[in-house]
Amino acid sequence: MFLDRSQFPDHQWADWRFHMTNLIRSRDALSRWVRLTPAEEDAIDAVNGTYLWMATPYYASLMDKYDDACPIRRQTIPHLDEMRRPVTSHVDPVGDMLNLKTRRIVHKYPNRVVMLVSDTCPVYCRHCTRKFHTTDVSGTYYKDGDQKGYEADFDYIRRNSMIDDVLLTGGDPLTLTDNKLEHIVSELRKIPHVNIIRIGSRYPVFLPQRITPEFCALLEKYHPVWLSTHFNHPVEVTEEAAEACDRLLRHGIPVQNQTVLLKGINDDAEVMRQLFKKLVGIRVRPYYLYHCDNVTGVSHFATSVETGAAIMESLTGFETGFSVPTYVLTTKIGKIPIQRSYFESVDGWPYVRNYKHEVEDAVPYISPTIPT
């Protein structure tokens, strides 16, 4: 008999510390939750010493006990393809290290920075953009010899008055204690030109119990604070996840979602439709649909751009506008929107096209050079 949610007392299951104390880190521990296939067992052994893996009991409880095609299993359990090294892949395809200014500050855009406050997560996504930083046991972006405190990071932001938006990410910032998070957020709020503070976290997905009333009240003191999370499949939108998002929202913290397009998990129009409907139903806005980054050890999740564009085409016009995210490709030069254009030119004459492929003359809306 496998473990499941029903075998734990409610008070224990509701305590995020219980889950963090009982993280699943070994093949034997995971086999108490699901029937591992030989391929999964081989992959767990193969990545040992290269890539970390881990799961919370909560997230393991969402796994199908017998089907290795389960979207939760595929995001959590290592795959043998992770050990492939395609020549076109890179440990840092989005250019974080190229733009690393301090131990933690990545400054790619003029007015906003990323602050890498952790290299640890409660579950290590197999498709992680920062797989080298967070799961390669010998790798991290942090420079050797840099001070371990945050003062150099805060000082960089203070000295660059154009920075008005700071994203805390990692790893997952919520792996830190509330006290440490409050120290970081409160110091940022003291900097006059910092307007928006954002937190990127999958805890609403991996361990929603971590989103406590106390944590939400902490953030409420430092508005405007936004939280970006990362639901990839409708199965992840549970009652507990909905309650976590509701707690954030009731404390005035907007929640938006960034989905990654993943082969065999959500590269299907109906799966995406159901995911975004569920998110809107819990008042979480679908913000980005990321094309899977060309990360070393992640290529088996990659789809074609055409697949993503076709999914977007199936949603745009058929679903409420704010439930349809922007499809983007993250590169060293920034995020590039890649959905198909609804403005077209035929023989030099402009037209607009709708979701049903009906067209209308666009001349009244622009000032083109009209052919004579």
Name the segment(s) of the chain with CATH classification 3.20.20.70. Answer: 97-337
Rounded CA separation 96/109 (Å): 12
Residue 254: per-residue pLDDT: 98
Q: Residues 6 or more apart from 368 whose CB is under 8 A from it?
A: 348, 349, 350
Residue 147's pLDDT is what? Answer: 58
> Residue 343 burial by CB count (10 A; 0-12/13-18/19+): exposed, middle or buried?
exposed
Structure tokens at 328: 């983007």
Q: Is 306 helix (H, G, I), strand (E, B) or coil?
A: helix
Q: What pLDDT sits at residue 129?
A: 96
113: part of which helix (H) or strand (E)? strand 112-116
Q: Which secondary-structure segment (H or E) carries 257?
A: strand 255-261
Q: pLDDT tens for the chain, 372 residues: list them.
A: 899 999 999 999 999 999 999 999 999 999 999 999 999 999 999 999 999 999 999 999 999 999 999 999 999 999 999 999 999 899 999 999 999 999 999 999 999 999 999 999 999 999 999 999 999 998 888 766 555 789 999 999 999 999 999 999 999 999 999 999 999 999 999 999 999 999 999 999 999 999 999 999 999 999 999 999 999 999 999 999 999 999 999 999 999 999 999 999 999 999 999 999 999 999 999 999 999 999 999 999 999 999 999 999 999 999 999 999 999 999 999 999 987 777 777 777 777 888 788 888 876 766 545 555
| Residue-by-residue DSSP string for 50-62 | TB---B-HHHHTT
Amino acid at 371: P
User: The tokens of 256 are what?
Assistant: 């938006």
Q: Which is nearest to 308 in space by CA: 284, 286, 287, 325? A: 325
pLDDT confidence of residue 292: 97
Report whether 121 belongs to an annotated binding site. Answer: yes
Residue 229, both tokens: 């999370």
CATH architecture of 97-337: Alpha-Beta Barrel (3.20)
* C-alpha distance from residue 18 to each of 12, 29, 58, 79, 173 (Å): 6, 15, 10, 28, 19
Neighbours of 182 (CB within 10 A): 16
pLDDT at 371: 54
pTM of the model: 0.94
The per-residue pLDDT for 367 is 59
DSSP secondary structure of 310-355: HHHHHHBTTB-GGGSPEEEEEETTEEEE-SPPSEEEETTEEEEE-T
pLDDT of residue 366: 67
The per-residue pLDDT for 344 is 78
Buried b (16+ CB within 10 A) or exposed e, 251-290: bebbbbbbbbbbbebbbebebbbbbbebbbebebebbbbb
Q: What is the pLDDT of residue 234?
A: 98
